[in-house]
Amino acid sequence: MLIFPFSGTSYATAFRHCVLIFLGQEQADWPEISSKFGDWTKSNVVPPRTLLIASHAHAQSLASAIQDDSAKGYTDVLAKGQLTIGRFDYSGRITEVSQGEPGNELDLTRCFVCATDEYMRQASQRGDVVVAAPPGFYFEKQSERYASHFLRAESLLSGTSEIELISIALLRRFSEFCEQEPSSATVRIFIDSMAIWPVAQMLAQLHCSEAKGTRRYSIESFRGYEGLAQWQPLPGAAFVIISASTSGGLEAKVRKHLGRTKNVPVVTLLGLQSDGQDKDEIASESPRSSCLFRVPRKLAGEPALDGLRAEFLPDVTSLPAGAESVRVIGERFLSHNNRPKLVRMTHKSLAEKDKRILAELAYAHIVLAGRRKAIGNKWWSLSLDIDALMACYADSGTEENRKLREWIRNYAAPGPTVIIYPKDLASGEPYNQCLAMRIDALLRERAPGTETRVVDHTELERPRAELSEFLKNAAAIVASPIVSNGFVFKQISAMLRIVQPSGPRLYIALAALPESEVRLKELASDIGSNSADSAYRFKLGFALPVGRIDKAILWDEEAVLLNEFIDACQSERIDVPEKLVQRRDAMQASNGLTDTLTFMPSARGEPQPLSAGFLLWEVNHPQEGANFGAGVLLTVATFLEATRRARSGDPDTSLRSGVFQQTLIEPATFTRFNDGAIQAALLRAAYPSELDYAADRAASRDMARLISKFIELHNSPAGSAAPEFVLALLLKKLTLHRDDLSVIEHACTSLTGWLGALARLLFQAK
């Protein structure tokens, strides 16, 4: 849901001062709309007119609820001024939901264009949409020109609502294009970057939701200027979306590739006003070529850098004396003058308390890796054994582990209490429910006679009358054994705020594995702000930020590669280690990878080893062995994220990347952390950009030399991680300069058996 003010003067005087409540395809009811609108009004001046835009069916449903007096909260919106409800359909036309005779509805399409224009205008004043080069720098664009600023249309797409808003703004043009190609079985959509793929996908989804026929919608990216040389589309009709362009040069090249076909409308999301271009000229753009919004050359806000870059200069042919260039490659900036920074990893980046927690988890073998999610075929790169976790923190039988009991005892909320848990998946164990029942038992033990209810979060969507009455005077406890960024807690918090605006609340998670410390603070802030007038607490057993590890580890690609590789080896009668087959089978199951299966086995088929004295664990009696894989992966992921936070304050040991400089893990890191398990964990937990040595010729040579040495020593403990290095190169997780691949190829000639077969795939792919 988006809420922002705009002026619809060019549409109608009545909409001169207006606020848009944009639902898109969201099925929000009146209480939720009223609640979010009320929050918005607390910090904004409310215009006298409100325009609400929703999907065709939902807008009609909201209007019907008003007519039959079942719209709870509707009057809160109406009290702020006159309300108009609009609905959009597959054609992109937006009309008023009128209570009068059919045919007399207002056509609100132009009014919505005014609102979209205002949204884009506000967005263009952000520094992440119109990016300014620092004084003395210019961007070298893919079109071989220099510019003072760079347009990043992908920064407009911060959420589903924003994607839907932009897609609906394009929908009418897309629908007209489809109507002009009635005989085409496939509708082609070309985009210049996968960064705006969500817009193209949403556009097709919105159009085919009601459109008749069984057309196929094909979306293809030609990858901007750098991809045009290899792009060979068939001539013919197509709908083209360009993310951003300052001159229209990319559009001309695209049209040349598509031939002289008339029906090739090109829409640019972000453009730049030409010299002397006024609004009338913008409004009269060709239907075959249009721009959703044109950024003015005279800038304000963050892109102006406090007046240091107040003018957008798009076509600088040569650099001024003393200026430096920053090359734009896809969505990255690469300074010609600043080499990537090599970062020396140090164990001091990790806090001592985290070292103790990580050691306890590893020694108790609680950590699991590579666990498939039941929905969406995605992965939890790192998760925990919930049974063992519950035993540590929720088992009343242990004296030293009574955190849950202490939290409940200190929760001063006399009277009735509702215990809410995220609904467990039907295919899995009811861990969330078990924790909720344990909390219920502790409450009754602490205060016999306490009236309680245990419900899953879906019951808050449409609570029964009895539950609604109970919630009026009840305290709330929300519990889950483990959370990541805590979206489910935010969801439950929002539901609670609708059915129970106030009341004491306690949020409990035995463990949290968020992306970052910032995400954890956002969670605490968000659920806290939803109960600002009440007693609010958030209790955690422990929190270990692990970075974007679910994106860093390429589980899908690895699973496909291993399955095909093992089948090929078996057909060629090449012996495959039992551990590798077990690992393949475990990845296809849903229970996750245990410690011995977390990483690729060594060339001899053994799990990756760990020697005693691991510096990232704080323990009294260090252990060693080959059964700590998942624990080491969690430890290294936490360590790398701590290094990205630059806790030590030393720039030489900080992995934090800036806009103008890439950071790389120093190759020597793999010699200081020389156990196979640690090296494998570093390769998996690091981001691809942190292992992209192709940008630094010297670092690439050093890394190639190290990898070749590990491959030569593949039968000894020093080279046990050689299969992991080969796999990282195969999956392009680790990248070397192309001139250094010959060093790896030469080292691989000595490999035999299954590891030799795996290495051959690397050079077949080349």
pLDDT at 731 over 60: yes
Q: Is the pLDDT of residue 299 over 70?
A: yes
pLDDT, residue 708, reads 94
Q: Is the pLDDT of residue 569 over 70?
A: yes
Closest residue by Cα to residue 304 from 156, 118, 133: 133
Q: How many CB atoms lie within 10 A of CB 75?
A: 11
As a whole number of angstroms, the distance between CA 384 and CA 396 comes to 20
pLDDT at 78 over 80: no
What percent of the chain stands above pLDDT 90? 27
Q: Are the C-beta atoms of residues 133 and 139 closer than 8 Å to each other?
A: yes
Cα separation, 319 vs 333, in Å, equals: 17
Please report the pLDDT score of residue 331 as a whole number.
47
The residue among 339 and 125 whose pLDDT is bigger is 125
Residue 742 structure tokens: 């010959």
Q: Over 60: is that where the pLDDT of 236 sits?
A: yes
- The pLDDT tens digits of the residues spanning 742-758 come to 999 999 998 999 999 99
Residue 575 CA to chain centroid, in angstroms? Answer: 40
Residue 597: the pLDDT is 94
User: Is the CA virtual torsion 354, 359, 364, 368 positive or negative?
Assistant: positive
Q: What is the pLDDT of residues 238-279, one digit of tens each?
A: 888 888 888 777 888 888 877 766 778 888 888 888 776 544
pLDDT of residue 497: 81
pLDDT over threshold 70, residue 336 = no
Q: Which residues contact 501 (CB under 8 A, 6 or more apart)?
A: none
3-class DSSP string for 323-365: CEEEEEECCEEEECCCCCEEECCCHHHCCHHHHHHHHHHHHCC
At residue 75, does pLDDT exceed 80?
Answer: no
Instruction: With beta carbons less than 8 A apart as the criterion, state whether 323 and 138 touch.
Output: yes
CB contact burial 99-133 (16+ within 10 A = b; e otherwise)? eeeeeeebebbebbbbbbbbbbeebbeeeebbbbb
Burial of residue 269 (CB within 10 Å: 0-12, 13-18, 19+) is buried
If we measure between CA atoms, which residue out of 300, 324, 327 comes closest to residue 312? 300
Query: Is residue 609's pLDDT more than 90?
Result: yes
- 319-323, 362-366, 680-684, 744-748: segment of lowest average pLDDT: 319-323
- Mean pLDDT lowest for which of 84-93, 134-143, 215-224? 134-143
Q: What is the mean pLDDT of residues 715-722?
A: 93
Q: Map out the domains of the chain as residue ranges.
A: 2-117, 130-335, 348-354+554-765, 403-540
Tokens for 395, please give them.
């088992």
Amino acid at 98: S
When pLDDT is averaged across residues 517-534 and rounded to a whole number, the result is 72
Contact 615, 403 (CB under 8 A): no
What value does the mean pLDDT take over residues 359-386? 86
- pLDDT tens-digit series, residues 400-450: 447 788 888 877 566 899 999 998 775 567 888 999 998 888 888 888 888
Round to whole Å and give the CA distance between 692 and 685.
14
Helix runs in 370-482, H state only = 386-393, 403-409, 431-446, 465-471
> Is the model more confident about 364 or about 71?
364
The C-alpha atoms of residue 500 and residue 475 are separated, in whole angstroms, by 10
pLDDT of 652 over the 80 cut? no
Confidence (pLDDT) at 563: 93
Cα distances (angstroms) measured from residue 151 to each of 154, 243, 245, 335, 512: 9, 9, 8, 17, 37
- In this prediction, residues 584-607 reach a mean pLDDT of 92
What is the pLDDT at residue 428? 63
At the topology level, CATH places domain 403-540 in: Rossmann fold (3.40.50)
Domain 130-335: assigned CATH number: 3.40.50
Q: What is the pLDDT of residues 178-232, one digit of tens each?
A: 888 777 778 888 888 888 888 888 888 888 876 566 678 888 888 877 777 777 7
Q: Same CATH topology for 130-335 and 403-540? A: yes
Rounded-to-integer distance, Cα 733 and Cα 690, Å:
9
> CB-side exposure of 273: number of CA atoms within 13 Å?
18
Task: Among 255-264, 281-290, 615-624, name the one with the lowest average pLDDT.
Answer: 281-290
Number of Cβ atoms within 10 Å of the Cβ of 575: 10
Alpha-carbon radius of gyration of the chain: 29
Q: What is the pTM of this model?
A: 0.60
Give tens-digit pLDDT for 634-649. Answer: 999 999 999 888 655 5
Answer whether 367's CB lies under 8 Å from 630's CB.
Answer: yes
Range 16-37 average pLDDT: 86
- Give the C-alpha separation, 643 to 85, whole Å: 50
End-to-end CA distance of the chain: 47
Pair 223, 242: CB distance under 8 Å: no
CB of 488 closer than 8 Å to CB of 480: yes
pLDDT value of residue 527? 77
Residues with Cβ within 8 Å of 637's Cβ and at least 6 positions away in sequence, in order, are: 381, 382, 546, 547, 549, 681, 685
Residue 562: HSE in the Cβ half-sphere, 13 Å Cα cutoff: 25
Please report the DSSP string for 170-222 in residue order: HHHHHHHHHHT-TT-SEEEEEES-GGGHHHHHHHHHHHHTT-SS--EEEEEE-
Closest residue by Cα to residue 421 from 438, 433, 408: 433
Q: CA-to-CA distance for 467 and 683, rounded, in angstroms?
A: 50
* Residue-level pLDDT at 713: 93
How far is 358 from 148, CA to CA, in rounded Å? 47
Residue 462 has pLDDT above 90, yes or no: no
Which token pair is 698?
Answer: 């010297």
pLDDT of 584 strictly over 90: yes
Rounded to whole angstroms, how far apart are CA atoms 204 and 210?
11
Q: Is 607 helix (H, G, I), strand (E, B) or coil?
A: coil
State mean pLDDT over 701-721.
Answer: 93
Strand, coil or helix: what is 157?
coil
Average pLDDT (579-590) is 91
> Which residues fall within 8 angstroms of residue 102, CB to CB, at 6 or more apart?
none
pLDDT (0 to 100) of residue 281:
43
pLDDT at 227: 77
Percent of the chain residues past pLDDT 70, beyond the cut: 87
Does 334 score more than 50 pLDDT?
no
Query: Looking at the predicted structure, is the pLDDT value of residue 481 above 70?
Result: yes
Q: Report pLDDT for 406.
A: 82
Burial level of 1, CB count in 10 A (0-12/13-18/19+)? middle
Average model confidence (pLDDT) across the chain: 83
